[in-house]
Structure 1
Amino acid sequence: MSVRLFRRAAVPIVVAVLAAAAVVAVPTAQAAPAVRYTNPLANNRADPHIFKHTDGYYYFTATAPEYDRIVLRRATTLQGLASAAETVIWRKHASGEMGAHIWAPEIHFINGKWYVYFAAGRADDVWRIRMYVLESSSANPLTGSWTERGRITTPWDTFSLDASTFVANGVRYLVWAQQEPGISTNSNVYIARMGATPWTITGAVTRLVVPTLAWETRGYKVAEGPAVIQRNGRLFLTYSASATDANYCLGLLTAPASADPLDPAAWTKSPNPVFASNTATGQYGPGHNSFTVSEDGQSDILVYHDRNYRDISGDPLDDPNRRTRVQKLYWNADGTPNFGIPVPDGVTPVRLKAHGTESFVRHYDFQARVEADVRLLADSQFRIVPGLSGAAAVSLESTNYPGYYLRHRDHQLWVERDDGTATFRADATFTRHAGLADSAGISLESQNLPGYYVRNDNPRLVLRTASDAPGRAAATFTLE
């Protein structure tokens, strides 16, 4: 949960937009078909967790800003969650434990039953935050009854929250955030094996993250909200760091899949945040993420919350406007995740791969090119939007330069700001066709120069006719 310990003793929050994640090479070898969603998926829902179950439904829960209940919705598509009916499956107690600050629920299906992990304070001591578990044996967790299984006991009776669980090499683990006595941080990240039940742990507890770096300690010294994804022979654990305003961001730990997750030496911390506020796209404080998969199972989806403004009046915990968002998670050629930047609100972007190559359309110095080694993912991401000069056609908007569009000028392609003129809007509008060389792809025909197509001229992107087989191939792109 995006929370700080003891607001009563809070230090001033310094609002700052964090630098973008470290530059890395963008993938070519592990591409998956394009998926597009519309953000935000849900307003006023923080700390989102989406679980895709074998029954064909996505299950979505998150923190409600009133901090008084646990909500759940389901749909057969991710976008369907936006309009799905929401059910309250549990409410806070009127007194005692679980009586305040109901935070960061996660829903998991373990050994044939549903479990919701969440954090809560006491009605008479709202900052006495601890971790709790609900259980349901119903096939549909929205309509079934829930049993309180009580508190997750850890070695210290201290501020603790954000429990999550995963299985590696046949062993189930719990990861969470907690304040450890003797360490002057608000919370660190820990891991332990789960015990005989999904609400107990057993054996040694390992400390994985202590926030010490500048981007982990802005406003507060925080590491919280752990989430695990396993791919390409490795375990990747994300966590959220710093204050819950625009400073909030994601860090990353990496370990070999064959390693013992309880061995702290097995994990490597990335030196920079992998996902952070972005002024250009108007997204601030992205964090407390989870992972799910696309409807076809071929793409990993990053689920997170943020705000669409930087400056907050008063305590960020009193601001209800964190929104649940989703976007495709890409993978680098070396098998590591590439989070890119939090994309603008609206339809999520795609990448255009040139037919028969492992190269993507990107912009560099505002000229459109086709290159394999795109050092910043967002340079190669475009939103396909209704045509600026006719809604029946399309235009391609830059992701990291919103308001800039792919347009032709002197038969070359550029990414330039829409100046509002009829000439620009016509130059930036294309008729979308099935791929001329592969109907699974697309081809883009100039609206104001019919018969001329966007083509790969390696490395430039140009506007030319496509009357022969090489031309049709050069004018075909795959969306990823």
Structure 2
Amino acid sequence: MSPLSAPPPFRNPLAEQRADPHITRHADGRYHFTASVPSYDRIVLRSSRTLAGLASAEESVVWTRHASGDMGAHIWAPELHRADGAWYIHFAAAPADDVWRIRMWVLESTHPDPHRGAWIEKGRIVTAWDTFSLDAHTFTHRGDRYLAWAQHEPGTDSGTAIFLSRMADPWTLTGPQVRLSAPEYAWERVGFAVNEGPAVLRRNGRVFMTYSASATDANYCMGLLTADDTSDLMDPASWVKSPEPVFAGCAEAGQYGPGHNSFTVAEDGRTDVLVYHARPYERIEGDPLRDPNRHTRVQPFGWRADGTPDFGTPVRT
């Protein structure tokens, strides 16, 4: 029985009312989980020796929004990463008096335990344009550190597209910033023309980058970009975009709008795990961003014979 047909070994949802989930497994085997909270006012962190243990792990508030000025509203999509001997949290925030002027920011802690150390504000990630930007995702490949993120490009009708740049350090971009994907297909433009939430996975001689598309309601879904492991990742021509969503809502499973994913591995170190949020109902009253019930979910996924990921469909609650 394949991992996609076997009963999922995880509790789902793993964490209720936690959107834009990010789970990383540290070198010591501990899992660290952070996500957006419905009030969009703080950054929380859970840690556990097991993936399942994150469901009941004590949650720490490691940082709270400013009462005024920068980083005062819309605290969105935090990601925790280890780099250069320190912990970093990349997240989005807006000024308290201009709540849609969303930009990307970075926190740093040099303490070995991300729950206990003081978090220092390293500042804003400065991009080529001072426009709406969010969902910073950092990764290393062949000795270089990169940042993938979503941003509005001036002069386009897209809400956000996916961009890539090399980094001088975990809070500074260097060199050119290139667009890898803009919302061009109909399934990327339902409600809003959006590509956002990039996440990188490297397997089978290729670099895979998932992203999320359309409005954050039941139409939200995941797309996929693929590049050869040896190619120049900064060349947009190196990336091939899948013409159809690779993960979408499933009425049979009762899960809608899956997306803003990350990747981790199970305790065996071999089983790949998809981390994402979804809602257990299709209809939403009012603004989807004000509906709190995007729940964090986890499920194993497999690989096709051609070496590409097979995410399947959302599992049942």
When the two structures are superposed, what TM-score results if normalisation uses the length of structure 2?
0.98
Q: Does 1:36 align with 2:9?
A: yes
Counterpart-to-counterpart distance in 2, 1:248 and 1:82: 24
Corresponding residue of 1:329: 301
* Of 25, 35, 38, the match for 1:65: 38
Aligned length: 316
Corresponding residue of 1:217: 189
What displacement does 1:34 show?
8.6
Counterpart-to-counterpart distance in 2, 1:57 and 1:307: 27
Displacement over 6 Å in runs of 4+: none
Contact 1:306 1:324 in 2 (8 A): yes
User: Aligned with 2:54: secondary structure?
Assistant: helix
Counterpart-to-counterpart distance in 2, 1:163 and 1:328: 24
CA displacement 1:234-292 (0-9 Å, x = unmatched): 00000000000000000000010000110100100000000001110000000000000
Report which of the two structures shows the higher radius of gyration computed on alpha carbons: 1
What displacement does 1:56 show?
2.0
Corresponding residue of 2:316: 344
Counterpart-to-counterpart distance in 2, 1:53 and 1:99: 30
Unaligned runs of 5+ residues in structure 1 are: 1-26, 346-480
**AA at the equivalent of 1:68:** D
Corresponding residue of 1:235: 207
**AA at the equivalent of 1:77:** T
CA displacement 1:275-333 (0-9 Å, x = unmatched): 00111000000000000000010111000000000000000011001000000021111
* Of 227, 230, 234, the match for 1:262: 234
Corresponding residue of 2:61: 88
Contact 2:8 2:315 in 1 (8 A): no
CA displacement 1:47-100 (0-9 Å, x = unmatched): 000000012210000000000000001000000000000000000001110000
Of all paired residues, the percent bearing the same amino acid is 62
* Of 227, 237, 250, the match for 2:222: 250
Counterpart-to-counterpart distance in 2, 1:151 and 1:174: 13
Corresponding residue of 2:142: 169
User: Aligned with 2:252: secondary structure?
Assistant: coil
**AA at the equivalent of 2:125:** I
User: Aligned with 1:325: secondary structure?
Assistant: strand
Q: Which aligned pairs between 1:310-321 and structure 2 lie closer than 5 A?
A: 310-321=282-293
Q: Does 1:200 align with 2:172?
A: yes
Contact 1:72 1:89 in 2 (8 A): yes
Counterpart-to-counterpart distance in 2, 1:271 and 1:68: 36
Counterpart-to-counterpart distance in 2, 1:228 and 1:344: 25
Taking a change above 3 Å as real, the CA distance of residues 299 and 334 of structure 1, as seen in their structure-2 partners, is same
* Of 103, 120, 137, the match for 1:147: 120
Counterpart-to-counterpart distance in 2, 1:268 and 1:343: 28
- RMSD over aligned CA atoms reads 1.5
**AA at the equivalent of 1:244:** T
Counterpart-to-counterpart distance in 1, 2:7 and 2:249: 24
Contact 2:162 2:195 in 1 (8 A): yes
Corresponding residue of 1:179: 152
